[in-house]
Amino acid sequence: MEIDTLATRLTQGDRRALSRAITLVESTRSDHRAAAVKLLERVTDPDRQALRIGLSGTPGVGKSTFIEAFGLMLTGQGMRVAVLAVDPSSARSGGSILGDKTRMDRLSRDPAAFIRPSPSQTELGGVARRTREAIALCEAAGFDAVIVETVGVGQSETMVAQMTDLFVLLLAPGGGDELQGVKRGIMEIADLIVINKADGALKAQAQSTRADYAGALRLLRKRPGDPEGFPKALAVSASEGTGLDTAWDEMQALARFRRESGHWDRTRAAQNRHWFEEAVRLGLMRHLATDPQSREAMDRLGRDVADGHLPPGAAAEKMLNLLLSRD
Amino acid sequence: MEIDTLATRLTQGDRRALSRAITLVESTRSDHRAAAVKLLERVTDPDRQALRIGLSGTPGVGKSTFIEAFGLMLTGQGMRVAVLAVDPSSARSGGSILGDKTRMDRLSRDPAAFIRPSPSQTELGGVARRTREAIALCEAAGFDAVIVETVGVGQSETMVAQMTDLFVLLLAPGGGDELQGVKRGIMEIADLIVINKADGALKAQAQSTRADYAGALRLLRKRPGDPEGFPKALAVSASEGTGLDTAWDEMQALARFRRESGHWDRTRAAQNRHWFEEAVRLGLMRHLATDPQSREAMDRLGRDVADGHLPPGAAAEKMLNLLLSRD
């Protein structure tokens, strides 16, 4: 399909076009890459903004059940919801292997929803670019909310926090976050801590876990620019659907506050700039590793350095002069 | 002083010239940098190789006493010994503040020795370059052994292991390495574990600590290319001077084995290549941050990215095209 046609269909909200576009940004082939850059440039519209929600939780907390119930509630209110999964360590069952759509059967059949499984395993730098670009495509396709799901045990949470507007940590009742295997540092980036499974035999324990976290969060310093009471702890039951509306109200309240205070725009601007600088850095490293002339020079100078005839610093100067054509 | 004169005096072994040359490579001024690169290129001679010894130990294990006694033993055998201190976290007492020469009074007055305190605090990337280049200058000045001292608690040990021929970990009697605050991972890079203070009341404990480590090391996999029995644990008394000759014998035996097996040359070649690639990487980042044209373009594109009009990936492509003049 022509990039122009793909861009038009995508901005009209066509889910198949979105799917194809994401496949394009996931590709590492250089002609695909060029097309992806062109497509993103074509469809980028600063006035089309979704609420980007980072969601993290270790296996067993009921993440799929939560996303499905939460997503259906939003589509029930007339919204369009996209779910992207990030799992750089993806060799686990579930995820990309069993397929995220199987995990969220009802949501995946909802025409107002779009679910994209995690791409196959690759290095974190690549995962970051693909996820960021997939989010941008979902926004361009007119989705109102984009949920970016991570498993809470890797290094991907900080990365996802750098590309979302708010971050939700999902926990199970009982056991502290450390016992649940949540990586240190995730607590610090969470805007909302949601204790799931507040139903049946676990209801009381979920409530007391919530109270424990609420107490702990009061001790933490409020983040500059955030309203009183955030970060906040809530208890929900994804399977019974209770508390999801409150969770959504809180997310909207926080988002509204941040929009009105200017925090939202500042954060998005800083995020965009961060990813731009990161992309330049990665692009330079890729150029060194793949451009034939650069590789030849790196190899040639590398040999002189390896046998001790040329100091590393002098060789680097020669390489930089070649690369930056400043000789 | 002219670079030519400095180079000549340095290769003649003049300690004042060496001192000036190290000051030059420590400077961040760009004209100094250019002169330093020129000087290093001038004096580099693959046939002048010192034995480069990385030495790590937390404060209190008697590192200065060990280096002084060990260094004096070597100069007593007619060798020339250089001692370089690396301490990127240098706000501690001792080190660059009280001055390493005060810590090693007798060695510093030995005309066959050269002691250089750690440069003032800076980021690890810069510390790596300076230390590596200071080592190269000591070799060019004809020193037979270069001891590179670190404090064993930071990130500098792996870095130093990447620029030395063998690595010695100095420990005190009793308490495991973790109790002594040795950073995880240092055990894995040590070729020789030396338990100091095997004298007086601590003698028996030093011997049993040595036996404990010897046992533990037997369980670890021998490093490919190394002779039987390495890594090895020894007990010494730096203050009484006992065991230092054995430690030196072991270092020489390991160095000889590695030279004869080709491991030495391969390792030096890999180290040089590593630092070359690192220097190119850092040079590119420096260029982005300091070159006026690059900064202007980064700022301009960064603004378009920040306000959401240009995707980070497209902006990065434009920047790379500008930088690498490939448009």
Q: What CATH number does the domain containing A10 carry?
A: 1.20.5.170
CATH for B163: 3.40.50.300
Q: Specify whether the CB–CB gap between A300 and A322 falls below 8 A.
A: no
The answer to whether residues A143 and A4 belong to one domain is no
At B152-196, the pLDDT tens digits run 666 788 899 999 999 999 999 987 666 666 766 777 889 999 999
Across the interface, whether the CB atoms of B276 and A301 are under 8 A apart is answered: yes
**Are B226 and B313 within one domain?**
no
Contact status, residue B50 vs residue B144, Cβ threshold 8 Å: yes
Shared domain check, A50 and A36:
no
Q: Are residues A19 and A125 in the same domain?
A: no
- Do B9 and B140 fall within a single domain? no
**Per-residue pLDDT, A90:** 47
Of all residues in chain A, the percent with pLDDT exceeding 90 is 68
Q: pLDDT tens across B13-48, in order?
A: 999 999 999 999 998 888 999 999 999 999 999 999
Among chain A residues, the shortest Cα distance to B310 is held by A41
Number of A–B residue contacts, CB under 8 Å: 145
In a domain, B123, yes or no: yes
- Closest partner residue to A272 (CB to CB) among B38, B308, B324 is B308
The yes/no answer to whether this complex scores an ipTM above 0.90 is: no
Alpha helices by DSSP H, listed for B168-262, are: 186-189, 203-219, 244-261
Amino acid at A100: D
B235-269 pLDDT, tens digit each: 999 999 999 999 999 999 999 999 999 999 999 99
Nearest to B283 by CA among A126, A307, A301: A301
Same structural domain, A248 and A301: no
E strand or H helix at B236: none
All residues of chain A having their beta carbon less than 8 Å from the beta carbon of residue B268 are 308
pLDDT at A155 over 90: no
What does DSSP assign to residue B148? Answer: E
| Separation between Cα atoms, residue B229 and residue B177, nearest integer Å | 20
Q: Are B154 and B220 contained in the same domain? A: yes
**Half-sphere exposure for B95 (CA within 13 Å, toward CB):** 19
The verdict on A56 and A163 lying in the same domain is: yes
Residue A270 lies in a domain: no
Put simply, the answer to whether B37 touches A314 (Cβ < 8 Å) is yes
Nearest CA in chain B to A40: B311
Are B196 and B301 in the same domain?
Answer: no
Q: Tell me what pLDDT residue B223 has.
A: 75
Q: Which of A185-199, A253-267, B302-316 has the lowest mean pLDDT?
A: A185-199
Does B292 share its domain with B213?
A: no
The amino acid sitting at A67 is I
Q: pLDDT at position B250, please?
A: 97
Q: Calculate how close chain A gets to B33, using CA atoms only, in Å.
A: 10
Mean pLDDT of B145-152: 89
- Counting residues of chain B whose pLDDT is more than 90, the rounded percentage is 68
Q: With respect to residue B192, please indicate whether it lies within any of the assigned structural domains.
A: yes
Judgement on whether residues B55 and B6 belong to the same structural domain of the protein? no
The residue segments making up the domain with residue B289 are: 275-323
Find the CB nearest A314 among B40, B323, B325: B40
Q: Cβ A37–B317 below 8 Å, yes or no?
A: yes
Contacts of A180 (CB under 8 A, 6+ apart): A58, A61, A171, A172
Minimum distance, in Å, between the CA of residue B294 and any CA atom of chain A = 11
How does pLDDT run across B272-289, given as a tens digit for each residue? Answer: 999 999 999 989 988 988
Q: For the residues B127-141, what does the mean pLDDT come to?
A: 94
Residue B268 lies in a domain: no
Residue recorded with tokens 């270790």: A58
pLDDT band at B86 (very low <50, low <70, confident <90, very high): confident
Choose the closest CB to B280 out of A282, A319, A325: A319
Residue A202 covered by a domain:
yes
State whether residue B117 is helix, strand or coil: coil
Determine whether the interchain pair B46/A132 forms a contact, defined as Cβ–Cβ distance below 8 Å.
no
Name residue A119's amino acid: P
Q: Which one has a higher pLDDT value, A290 or A196?
A: A196
Look at A105-109, A163-167, A215-219, B100-104 and tell me which has the smallest mean pLDDT.
B100-104
Residue B159 lies in a domain: yes
The tokens for B25 are: 């490579």
Q: Is residue B53 part of a domain?
A: yes
User: How many domains, in total, are found in chain A?
Assistant: 3
